[in-house]
Amino acid sequence: MDLIKKIKDIIEPTLNSLGYHIVRVQFSGQVRPTLQVMIEKLDLSALSIDDCVKASRQISALLDVEDPIDTAYQLEVTSPGLDRPLVALQDYVRFQGAEIKLETVSPLEGRKRFKGILSQVKEGTIFLKPEDSEATLDIAYENILKAKLVPQF
């Protein structure tokens, strides 16, 4: 089983019971490995520092018992922030109408990076109205390498 999935399986039930949803789990770094757990509230209200501390304590306790990581690491629990990553298909549905940046696995129209309005999500396809084009792109969810919201100020 892949490490990220194993970690999610360990911590997700407890976080859900506390009213949190996992946005993303990442493990990175060679010299100073970091486990980043990005969470938001199930009711979508604002996440406070106290929420992150509460979740961090629970995650730390669970991972100390299960011990899925065989090296020392730093645990970081964060909110998604203004430039929230779009990870699951339902994230794209939730943020229809928002401006996003995304990178594809395979090139579309000769390029991989796009910025524009997420106009629609239908049957696993993301429809993006790029800022530099009149045409709407249809992008298969499986072809998206990474995507995030563009903060509006």
Q: Are residues 95 and 74 in the same domain?
A: no
Structural domain including 67 reads 3-78
Picking from 34, 56, 78, the residue at the C-terminal end of a domain is 78
- Residue 3 in 3-state DSSP? helix
What DSSP character marks residue 68? -
pLDDT at residue 113 above 80?
yes
Please give the backbone phi and psi of residue 124, each rounded to the nearest 5 degrees, phi first: 75, 10
pLDDT bin (cut points 50, 70, 90) of residue 1 is: low
**CATH number of domain containing 62:** 3.30.300.70
Q: What is the 3-state secondary structure (H, E, C) of 92-135?
A: HHHCCCCEEEEEEEEEECCEEEEEEEEEEEECCEEEEEECCCCC
pLDDT at 30: 83
Tell me the whole-structure pTM to 2 decimals.
0.86
Is the CB of residue 75 less than 8 Å from the CB of residue 7? no
What pLDDT, in 10s, does the model give residues 5-45? Answer: 999 999 999 999 999 999 999 999 888 999 999 999 999 99
